[in-house]
């Protein structure tokens, strides 16, 4: 896709997260998860699905504040783990200059 679309990898990453969030908002991603299971939850689009799912579920429970806190509740563990291991690898690795 990067060769065909001629866009930067970071833009492609953001595109997949946004597409996962939009599909989750419309209820399409839930059907994809039922069909594919972990194959739909593991990729970057699954992260967008988790963000929107958490926001929507918490918004129903807490109102407007849930829109902002729900994303952190559902994705906080994954983000914290990524930050921890990234810092650990940065301390151990010897980058090439």
Token representation of residue 10:
């970071």
Kindly report, residue by residue over 10-52, the tens digit of the pLDDT. Answer: 888 888 889 888 988 898 888 888 888 877 777 788 888 888 8
Residue in the block written with tokens 């918490």: 58
Distances (CA, A) of 88 to 42, 84, 95: 22, 6, 14
The pTM (predicted TM-score) of the whole model is: 0.71
Kindly report, residue by residue over 46-91, the tens digit of the pLDDT. Answer: 888 888 888 888 888 888 888 788 888 878 888 888 899 999 999 9
């Amino acid at each position: 896709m990067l060769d065909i679309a001629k866009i930067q990898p970071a833009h492609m990453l953001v595109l997949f997260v946004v597409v996962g969030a939009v599909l989750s908002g419309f209820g399409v991603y839930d059907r994809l998860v039922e069909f594919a299971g972990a194959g739909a939850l593991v990729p970057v689009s699954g992260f967008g699905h988790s963000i929107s799912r958490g926001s929507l579920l918490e918004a129903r429970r807490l109102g407007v504040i849930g829109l902002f806190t729900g994303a952190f509740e559902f994705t906080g563990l994954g983000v914290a783990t990524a930050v921890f291991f990234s810092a650990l690898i940065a301390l151990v690795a010897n980058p090439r200059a």
